[in-house]
Amino acid sequence: MNSFTRNEKRAVVAEFIGTFFFVFLGTGAVVAAVGGAGGDAALVAIAIAHGLGILIAVAWTAQISGGHINPAVSLAFIVTKNIKPAVGFAYMVAQFAGAAVASLLLKLVTAKDLEGAAGGRLGLHSINPDLSPAEGLGMEIIATSFLIWVIYNVAVSKKGWGINAPIAIGLAVMAIHFALVPFTGSSVNPARSFGPALIDNEWKDFWVYLVGPFGGALIVAFFWEYVWKNMGDDALADPPKS
């Protein structure tokens, strides 16, 4: 960290704090929803909590660190040269650490009857028994690709949403959770999966939640950097006239 500038150090700390709060609130919603209402109501609560959580976390860290809050995003940005590799990897360490601390504190403050509820263990991700790990992996790759594509177009593109980009990102995360929670628990964020897995010491199929999000991020990053940008003026020209 000594080779980092003051602003870069501040950005790394912001990624730790932002990821901490996102994971604490998101996984807290899972524990509360599954231990309480359950069913369709739980799905709605989980999706909204994660969508709003990432929207707020990205919004307040955007001007400090770029608002990654996700190691998959940081990896993609390293590939597309939107961030220096050393800083990007420092972000990833901070994100994983923030998630781990969030899950640890959630475990300490959560009532044991809620924490132990089926499917609610610290918001631990797991694959639906009716799915194979390969099917779960495919869903995570596709969903993460969608998320990263949204991020590039609303936050990186010159014609993006500017200060409103977190709104689109939050809505994308919410939509992904509505679709994936019944099947994989909906990760698209390795740090979000890592925190509960570490504290609960449950690593079954955890590789899916690493390979899927990182794989989806790399697919979009390489496409954006080596195909999309070469389609003319960063592929940001005015839409074709009808």
Model confidence at 112, in pLDDT bands (50, 70, 90)?
low
Does domain 6-232 fall under CATH 3.40.50.300? My reply is no
Side chain identity, residue 16:
F
Model confidence at 128, in pLDDT bands (50, 70, 90)?
very high
Q: Can you give the pTM of this predicted structure?
A: 0.90
Overall residue count recorded for the chain in this entry: 242
pLDDT at residue 95 greater than cutoff 70: yes
Highest mean pLDDT: which of 29-33, 160-164, 182-186? 182-186
204 CB-near residues (< 8 Å, 6+ apart): 126
